[in-house]
Amino acid sequence: MEFEIELKLLTNNEAGEVIDKKLLPNLTCNAKKKVMRLTNYYFDTPNRLLRKHDIGLRIRSSDQYCEQTLKTSGHSIGGLHKRPEYNVSLDCYDRSNTKSPNLSLFENSAWPKNFDLEAAQKDLETMFSTNFTRHVYLLDNKTSSIELVWDNGEVRSGEFTLPICEIELELKKGAVKDLFKLAKQISSLMPLGIGVHSKAARGYRLADNVKISRATLPNFGNNVALNIEECVVLINKALSHFQIASAFFCFNHLELNFDGVPDISKAFNLLTLSLQKLFNLTLCNELSVLCDKSVSLTFHWSSIVHDIEAAKEDSFEFLEKLSVFLTNSQTIDFQLDLVQVMLEKPWVNYN
């Protein structure tokens, strides 16, 4: 078993050129690059038995290798994901291996207690596939090793598809702060969103024809009495909601529209208020700085939304400004700084 610790960053089709020409020349590390074409089939039972246990199962193949992978329930906060991962190499020359996984190849400890492995094996079927070109950059220096990958392709279920265009930063060696440092360097060079949903989650949504739901956020008043733990829960919930709504607005490859703006506004307001509450309870200096940044971002956000509402039908120019605001380095770095502070303080159990 391995633990995968990664940040997922949504981006655009120019990412590869920016990485090669602007990012790598300014990094003080050894960089090794390779390009692969990856085909991935994801499996589950008709009643979504694996999904119910928060298990992802796939077979991945390329010209060089073929393996089956099991990912089980992990933890995430603000786009940083930590998840157990089990990998088993398969015979590359026997392409029948891509038709169905052999669940018995995974170690017993990978499965939940009382999981009916035999029944799951019998009922497995292909749910969807992902096909993309992966540009891999292994970045090594004296203190850390990070794998940066840029994936460009699609998720497919039958005749329906969703685009894949994202950067993943996976920590191989070193401190998690090194991931945040690299992510902030990238955010200074290109528009980004922070990805909350995995490729598998998007594939299930496509296979089951499930739309992105408008999650319900709790109402929050300044007089609400919260303890530190409750504040942390609210911050994580509001941040996740803000990231999902922002990513859908900026990277869904559809025409920009006003529909998602109220969700983004509500999530950001909740984030700002719960962050202020947490600061009042902890008097943490880093949170004080983040509170000031959130006020500045809120002012900028409110100004753009006011202009959109004033323009009414002639609002596309302001919707573009809103998209730029959501993907610029100031907004992204605020989110990254918040997640890093939350991880470094004893308020969040991320183990």
Do 239 and 304 lie in one domain? The reply is yes
Question: Does 203 share its domain with 244?
Answer: no
pLDDT single digits (tens) 129-185: 999 999 999 999 988 999 999 999 999 998 888 899 999 999 999 999 999 999 999
Q: Is 351 contained in some domain?
A: no
Residues 188 and 40 in one domain: yes
In a domain, 121, yes or no: yes
- Shared domain for 198 and 288, answered yes or no, is no
Tell me how many domains the chain contains: 2
Q: Are residues 59 and 194 in the same domain?
A: yes
Question: In this structure, are strands 80-89 and 66-71 parallel, antiparallel, or unpaired?
Answer: antiparallel
**Which amino acid would we find at residue 164?**
I
Q: pTM score, two decimals?
A: 0.90
- The verdict on residue 91 lying in a domain is yes
Regarding whether 159 and 189 lie in a shared domain, the answer is yes
Q: Based on the fold, state whether residues 9 and 114 are members of the same structural domain.
A: yes
Any domain includes 76: yes
145 and 49 fall within a common domain: yes
Q: Which of 218, 253, 217, 244 is CA-nearest to residue 326?
A: 244
Q: Which amino acid is at 276?
A: Q
Angle between helices 261-282 and 228-251 (to 10 degrees): 150
Cβ 192 vs Cβ 327: under 8 Å: yes
Question: Is residue 199 one of the residues assigned to a domain?
Answer: yes
349 within some domain: no
In CATH, what number is assigned to the domain containing residue 184? 2.40.320.10
Mean pLDDT of 68-94: 85
214 or 308: which leads in pLDDT: 308
Three-state helix/strand/coil letters over the chain = CEEEEEEEEECCCCHHHHHHHHHHHHCCCEEEEEEEEEEEEEEECCCCHHHHCCCEEEEEECCCCEEEEEECCCEEECCEEEEEEEEEECCCCCHHHHCCCCHHHCCHHHCCCCCCHHHHHHHCEEEEEEEEEEEEEEEECCCCEEEEEEEEEEEEECCEEEEEEEEEEEEEECCHHHHHHHHHHHHCCCCCEECCCCHHHHHHHHHCCCCCCCCCCCCCCCCCCCCHHHHHHHHHHHHHHHHHHHHHHHHCCCCCCCCCHHHHHHHHHHHHHHHHHHHHHHCCHHHHHHHHHHHHHHHHHHHHHHHHHHHCCCCHHHHHHHHHHHHCHHHHHHHHHHHHHHHHCCCCCCC
For residue 220, is it within any domain?
no
Q: Which residue has the tokens 């598998």?
A: 200
Q: For residues 34 and 321, which has the higher predicted lDDT (pLDDT)?
A: 34
8-50, pLDDT tens digit by residue?
A: 999 999 999 999 999 999 998 888 999 999 999 999 999 999 9
Q: What is the largest CA-CA distance in the chain?
A: 65
Clarify whether residues 167 and 57 are in a common domain: yes
Calpha distance 48→55 (Å, rounded): 10
The full length of the chain comes to: 351
Q: Both 147 and 249 in a single domain?
A: no
- Are 61 and 131 within one domain? yes
Range of the domain at 273: 228-344
pLDDT of residue 256: 53
Looking at residue 273, its amino acid is L
Distance CA 35, CA 39 (A): 13
Q: Are 251 and 162 members of one domain?
A: no
**How much is the average pLDDT of 115-122?**
92
Q: Stretch 316-334: mean pLDDT, rounded? A: 89
316 lies in some domain? yes
The confidence score (pLDDT) of residue 98 equals 62
Residue at a domain's end among 154, 178, 207: 207
